[in-house]
Amino acid sequence: MSKVKSITRPILTSEEYFQSIRDMGTEIWAFGEKNSEIADHPLFFPHVNAVAKTYELAPKVKSHISGKDISRFNHIHQSTDDLVKKAKMLRVLNQQTACCIQRCAGMDALNATYIVTYEIDQKYGTDYHERFNKFLSYVQDYNLVTIGAMTDVKGDRSKKSNEQADPDLFVHAIEEREDGIIVRGAKAHLTGVTGAHEMMVFPTENMKEASKDYALVFSCPVDTPGITYIFGRQTNDSRKLEKGDIDKGNAQYACVGGECIAIFDDVFIPWEDVYMYKEYEFAGMFVEAFATSHRQNYGACKGGICDVLIGATYGIAKANGVEKASHIKDKIGEMIHLSETLYASSIACSNEGRKTSSGAYIANTMLANVTKLNTTKFIYEVNRLAHDICGGILATLPSEADFIHPEIGPLLEKYLRGIPTISTNEKQRLLRLVETLSGGTASVEAMHGAGPPQAQKVMMLRDANLEAKLKLAQKIAGISKSEDTI
């Protein structure tokens, strides 16, 4: 199994985690420059720091493989209770960081691979499940951070992977060797590259035999030779390069997950790290297992961030002396309702989870998709209400440099103050935090992370069993139909 060579012992603390990222020296392009000192670069540090928080707060659980204490982020769910505890953990972590903590996609990728490799082996007698368990044990024992890479860049969306004019628009195998395969292509929207050790790569769609070269699942260290990472711009990201911390909004952590495009330029993957190779009929199962696990998270993650956003919005209402106004209380009450509904959805799909043939548990697919679909709508409304309550100053607040300037700073302190007991500095900091949490990149992530709304609707329609619902209606309405007409 290929390992990150710089990691020679288990990572036990956030300090050791930071050092592991420094030792790896993963190179990421941003603003036209290649950066290798990721853990200490102001553009990337907040993302790495958010992951570091998981080393401080994520609970331990017994590995079902070794019996050792491991991070819940590297655990294979053994019950619906595990699924519920996962959701609760994500809410707490997002309350503490107010941003994406970036490890859930890796956690979901590990669980999906465990489930589907078992199914492939049952049909074909392959040893993918055994291979994966060796990798999983390594990740658990060393307490590594894994990320999931699912979304291909796709090119012409009206065509399947094998129909593209450029075959590299989906990750695929271009060569088969005795010791492994060579892969080429690109994956988009990779959350957490800045702070990860290992990557799990999946197909992004159902496949038929013509697409079998694209039916790949494998793992690799993020610093594997031949992979180029290009960092995606985020709302107000250049503020991270400025002096001071107020204008950054969430200076210690981040906005979302530090997404990158990853380009695989003839990358070698040894067979021991390959968990599906051309078994195209299982590509859709991988997609569904990963998507269900990942969509399960969104009500908990966004619920935690909403807790911070609601608190900041309420703080601004207090600074303005309007927190007791009936219309403000009504709007904050609606924000709470929407946030708690999202969290309730995550808890519900977790409680209604099921045991798979592998022994691992997965969330209820229908309710997980409901969770994510609600997220694509409710977060925008929560953000809108926050903008409504905060007022126009949210969009026109002067810079931190102006506030500390000896000539104009005192003027801003005087004229932008609210009630006497809350300082202008506190109001300024809360406004910047609301701006960060409710801004463009954060909203788009809520919409498209774990798949856009149409993806959820497709799966919900598939699982809804409309014909059975029609039978229920016919029975109540007194309509007699023979079975062969349904």
Q: Is 100 a catalytic residue?
A: yes
445 is annotated as an active-site residue: yes
Considering 146, 191, 292, 365, which one is annotated as catalytic? 191
- Secondary structure class of 381 (helix, strand, coil): helix
Q: Which of 148, 166, 421, 137 is nearest to 259 (CA)?
A: 148
Nearest 5°: the CA angle 303, 309, 83 is: 15
Tell me, yes or no, if 104 is annotated catalytic.
yes
Instruction: For residue 34, give the H/E element and its range.
Output: strand 33-35
Residue among 298, 314, 343, 361 flagged as catalytic: 298
Q: CA 4: distance to chain centroid?
A: 23
Q: Please state, as a whole number, how many other Cβ atoms lie within 10 Å of the Cβ of residue 60.
A: 12
Q: How many CB atoms lie within 10 A of CB 482?
A: 6
**Which residue among 55, 97, 104, 119 is the active-site one?**
104
- Tell me, yes or no, if 260 is annotated catalytic: no
Number of CB atoms found within 10 A of residue 286's CB: 29
27 is annotated as an active-site residue: no
Beta bridge partners of 428: none
Q: Which of 119, 198, 259, 400 is catalytic?
A: 259
Q: Is residue 191 a known part of a binding site?
A: yes
Which residue reads 């993650």 in tokens?
Answer: 301
CA distance 319 to 321: 5
Cite the DSSP H helix spans in 391-477. 393-396, 400-403, 409-415, 424-437, 440-448, 453-463, 466-477
What does residue 408 show for φ and ψ, rounded to 5 degrees? -95, -15
Active-site pick, 17, 75, 97, 100: 100
Long-range Cβ pairs for the range 55-64 (8 Å, 24+): 55/11, 55/12, 55/13, 55/14, 55/16, 55/17, 55/143, 56/13, 56/14, 57/92, 57/93, 57/96, 58/89, 58/93, 58/103, 59/85, 59/89, 61/85, 63/137, 63/140, 64/359
Residue that has been written with the tokens 């026109």 in this structure: 396
Sheet with 146-149, strands from edge to edge, namely: 146-149, 198-201, 216-221, 274-277
Residue in this structure with the two tokens 């463009």, named with its chain if needed: 440
Structural contact between residues 295 and 451, judged by C-beta atoms closer than 8 angstroms = yes
Beta bridge partner(s), residue 187: 152, 262
Q: Residues comprising the binding site?
A: 191
Q: Residues comprising the binding site for FAD?
A: 191
Tell me which residues are annotated as active site. 100, 104, 191, 259, 294, 298, 301, 445
